[in-house]
């Protein structure tokens, strides 16, 4: 009798990253012009350390300004290109939710988890080996919906059950210490 042997699927690990306030500076309004898109200090180093440790790097960002007609997907792509250039092209994927609740409904928009789910399927990710780093509670909630631990970068929305760090470099230290 011919027995078919199957090898176990190896699941991968990733760090999901919110964009504004984690990777680039918050400027008080929508960040869509490349000249206003400023990569935060320590971000290239943090991404390099995570990549060296074997993590996929996946950006998941709400971009409601598209639904509001303030800018286009091409503008978002231009900012993402600037980020890739500044960080040595280490980011494996970018997902963005163009909707806004006042204009359209979308499962992509955090705190929903469709952006994370798409990346989990694409990269065969093990949620137990993944992290969500964001600066808003909705980021952490999106990760929690798919079983991904979160690290909140922010002093204004602290939640007792969530790990916190002042910036991505400090969050990287927490991730790599696990």
The CATH number of the domain where 72 resides is what? 3.40.50.1000
- 85 occurs within a structural domain: yes
Residue 136 CB neighbour total at 10 angstroms: 20
> Would residue 46 count as lying in a domain?
yes
- Answer yes or no: is 81 within a domain: yes
State pLDDT tens for residues 123-146. 999 999 999 999 999 999 999 999
The total number of structural domains in the chain stands at 1
Q: What is the pLDDT of residue 4?
A: 60
Domain enclosing residue 81, as ranges: 17-121+139-177
Residue 78 lies in a domain: yes
Per the domain annotation, does 132 fall within a domain?
no
Token pair 């978002």 in the structure block, residue = 76
Helix (H) or strand (E) holding 107, with range, is none
- The set of residues, in sequence order, having a beta carbon less than 8 Å from that of 46 and lying 6+ positions away, is 168, 169, 171, 172
Q: Please give the model's pTM, rounded to 2 decimal places.
A: 0.90
**DSSP code at position 155:** S
Asked whether residue 134 is assigned to any structural domain, the reply reads: no
Q: Is 126 a catalytic residue?
A: no
Identify whether 4 is part of a domain: no
Residues of the chain with pLDDT under 70: 1-8, 100-105, 155-161
Is 139 designated active site?
Answer: no
Q: CB-based burial of residue 25 (10 Å sphere; 0-12 exposed, 13-18 middle, 19+ buried)? A: middle
The per-residue pLDDT for 67 is 85
Q: Of 20, 75, 112, 139, which residue is the catalytic one? A: 20
- Strands of the sheet with 14-17, listed across from one edge: 93-97, 56-62, 14-17, 131-134, 149-153, 163-165
Residue 12 lies in a domain: no
Position 111 scores a pLDDT of 93
At 12 the pLDDT is 96
């Amino acid at each position: 009798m011919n027995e078919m042997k199957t090898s176990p699927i190896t699941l991968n690990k990733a760090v999901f990253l919110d964009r504004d306030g984690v990777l680039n500076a918050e400027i008080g309004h929508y960040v869509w012009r490349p000249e206003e898109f400023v990569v935060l200090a320590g971000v290239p180093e943090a991404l390099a350390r995570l990549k060296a440790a074997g993590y996929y790097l996946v950006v998941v960002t709400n971009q409601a300004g598209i639904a509001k007609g303030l800018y286009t997907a091409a503008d978002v792509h231009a900012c993402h290109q600037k980020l890739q250039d500044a960080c040595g092209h280490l980011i494996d994927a970018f997902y963005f939710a163009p909707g806004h609740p006042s204009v359209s409904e979308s499962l992509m928009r955090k705190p929903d988890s469709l952006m994370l789910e798409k990346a989990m399927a694409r990269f065969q990710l093990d949620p137990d080996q993944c992290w969500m780093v964001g600066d808003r509670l909705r980021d952490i909630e999106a990760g929690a919906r798919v079983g991904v631990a979160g690290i909140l970068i922010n002093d204004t929305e602290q939640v007792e059950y969530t790990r916190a760090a002042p910036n991505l470099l400090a969050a990287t230290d927490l991730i790599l210490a696990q």
